[in-house]
Amino acid sequence: MNWLLPWLTLSLLTAGTGASAAYQGVDAAVQKAEYPSITLRIYNSEDYIANGDEGSRNLVEEFKAKVLAEDHVNLTVSYSTFDTNEIMLSNYETGAQSYDLICTSDYMVERMMARDMLVPFATGDARKTLYAHGYEGWEEDTYEAYGSPFLKSLYHGIKVAGSDGVAHEVNDYMRGYMWGTLGIMYNPGFSVYADRGLTPDQVKFDMTDYASLWDKKYEGTFQIKDSMRDSYAIALLYAYREDFSKLLDAYQNGRLSETDYNHQINVLFNNICHVDEFNEVATSLGATSPVTDGEIIDTIQDALSTLMGNSYGLEVDSGKTDIQTGNRTGIDMAWSGDAVYAIDSAEEYGTNLYYSVPTIGANIWLDAWVIPSSVQTQEYAQKFIDFLSTPEIAAANMDYIGYTSAVAGDSILEQAREWYDVRMPILYQYDEEAGDFVWNDDDELVRNEAYASLSDDEFNALLRTGKGTIDGETYDSWDDYSEKNDLGWTAVNLSYFFNDSLNEFQNNVDTVFYTDEYESITIDDKTITAGRAFYAQYPPQEIVPSLMVMEDYGEDNQYVLKMWENVKSGSVPTAVIVILIVEAVIILAVVIFFAVQHGISKGLRKKRRAERNS
């Protein structure tokens, strides 16, 4: 979110003065005096939308142009940015500014719902009524149609009650924007690991387990997030790893359905102080003594204190740069979006970074749009979401931001395939110099000459199966191609994310990707998958059931904050106290000494004066 430098603010300034006009395929919206004017006020993280920089599309301007053309409305967009969700909330709470649309994280959506700060998105007929300035051109509720069913189901059932005590579905109040996981980014080639006798394969293997971070063999080589929620999450997963792996085991052996499994790990993950539900799950796993109130948070505090002692340090933003040079740190807790960026830019330093989501599960993050109750034009707030959630637009946005869009659909699938599918450069023309595929005038990829004569159906069949002639040789399948050419490809099916959102492409078939980034490593009869940017962008199917949503702590936030303060302040080293006391004594002694001396000389002077005067 903040890795592409604050170009956004800059470009907005220039756009405001009409100096920048790098829109792609859109003429700058020329406002017409006879049309009504409406202002849409958007509040987003910095640099979190394609804005025309670096050859991207300017989505705000495109939206304004669409509104002008469809609705005959002069739309003005007032766009402001913030640093963190917490700053956004306090700015909004103090009421200095009001907005029509805010982009924030899942837990903050819940917090705002609990404080009656949000209004739900209108759907169906209500939506039609809402669109008073024109329904034509906005018929399709694009998020409904293309928002990833996977993410919707993940948040389905999470309810938050406002002050009236009535619980509402979070899904009705937010529209997903970007999502990802909190995982471990690491450099298996870090020199310290070689010195400690750890092979790269061993490191890759260890990074699928949170416990490695508590292990002395990784001491002083990793950074953790200086963020309460994220650190809490990994400490919880570590402290109760036995329970989590028992549940995983039950799921893998078919004793638990995927839904039940995901429900139960979420219960373990989300019960800080209310231990009844936690105990229910724990007892079913064979726990003999139930945990008591406050015990979980104390356990996590101990775990975090140990973790901090074992770490190189805490970071907010510097971690992804520290690991790239390859000589400061070897591991960094990272959000997947940052990891994709870091893995890419570390290659300049010759550092090969990897990303892993530990097998027992991980925290998922989702940034979403919400409509605050201060909304003045809900119509255009929702129309903007409709616009952003159009797969084609979402793909352009994803291309600029680099995170994973919460929208699925054909265009996003194509975008992901261009980025990661290793079959693409074989079948399509790739311009090494430009670092991009070659496009024709209809905005379609240009096939490689060898396949130019194939009919569309034949070409698609080749893409799907790999059966046919590739580079002059005949193959049965892509697996066959990979094997014969010793490429080490792995087939990855992203059906969990794309199924039921596709129009042109086929569920389960076209969602298959081939990647050369996956490595399979077996140690002690246990096999793990190590991956890189593709793994970070779309986690592999096998770990998807283990992804959890960490809900807002609600009232319990104060306990977590207290715990975090305890962890961060640590215990004062005895040396500090001793030195302070010694210094205080010395300073006091000097002061008293001078004061006494001063008093004595003053007394003497007085005496002398008295003698002189007498």
Residue whose C-alpha is closest to residue 20's, from 66, 68, 61: 61
The footprint of another protein on residues 74-93 (CB under 8 A) is 84, 86-87, 89-90, 93
Tokens of 43: 């509040």
Tokens of 610: 């008295």
Q: Is 562 in the site for another protein (CB under 8 A)?
A: yes
Q: Is 317 in the site for another protein (CB under 8 A)?
A: no
Angle between helical axes of 557-569 and 228-239 (0-180°, round to 10): 90
The footprint of another protein on residues 295-314 (CB under 8 A) is 308, 311-314
Show the CA angle centred on residue 56, arms to residues 50 and 61, nearest 5°.
60
Q: C-beta of 114: minimal distance to another protein in Å?
A: 12
d(CA 34, CA 22) in angstroms, rounded, equals: 27
Among 329, 377, 511, 529, binds another protein (CB under 8 A): 329
Q: C-beta of 569: minimal distance to another protein in Å?
A: 4
Q: Is 577 in the site for another protein (CB under 8 A)?
A: yes
Among 126, 450, 561, 604, binds another protein (CB under 8 A): 561
The footprint of another protein on residues 578-597 (CB under 8 A) is 579-580, 583
525 CB burial (10 A radius; 0-12, 13-18, 19+): exposed
Tokens of 8: 């956004």
Main-chain dihedrals φ then ψ at residue 176, nearest 5 degrees = -60, 150
Q: 322 and 223 in contact (C-beta within 8 Å)?
A: yes
Q: C-beta of 602: minimal distance to another protein in Å?
A: 14
Q: Is 571 in the site for another protein (CB under 8 A)?
A: yes
Q: C-beta of 217: minimal distance to another protein in Å?
A: 16
Q: Is 132 in the site for another protein (CB under 8 A)?
A: no
Closest to another protein by CB, 286 or 573: 573
Main-chain dihedrals φ then ψ at residue 513, nearest 5 degrees = -115, 150
State the binding string over 199-238 for another protein (x if CB under 8 A, else -): ---------------------x--x--x-x----------
Q: 45 and 1 in contact (C-beta within 8 Å)?
A: yes
Q: C-beta of 601: minimal distance to another protein in Å?
A: 11
User: In Å, what is the CA distance from 112 to each residue of 73, 85, 173, 594?
Assistant: 31, 11, 10, 60
Q: Is 599 in the site for another protein (CB under 8 A)?
A: no
* Cβ partners under 8 Å of residue 565, min gap 6: none
Closest to another protein by CB, 144 or 219: 219
Closest to another protein by CB, 289 or 569: 569
Closest to another protein by CB, 171 or 351: 351
User: In Å, what is the CA distance from 570 to each residue of 88, 264, 277, 310?
Assistant: 29, 33, 31, 13
Q: C-beta of 160: minimal distance to another protein in Å?
A: 17
Closest to another protein by CB, 21 or 587: 587
Q: Is 474 in the site for another protein (CB under 8 A)?
A: no
Q: 341 and 321 in contact (C-beta within 8 Å)?
A: no
Q: C-beta of 304: minimal distance to another protein in Å?
A: 12
CB atoms within 10 A of CB 30: 8
Interface residues toward another protein, by CB under 8 A: 84, 86-87, 89-90, 93, 220, 223, 226, 228, 308, 311-315, 318, 328-329, 557-558, 561-562, 564-566, 568-573, 576-577, 579-580, 583
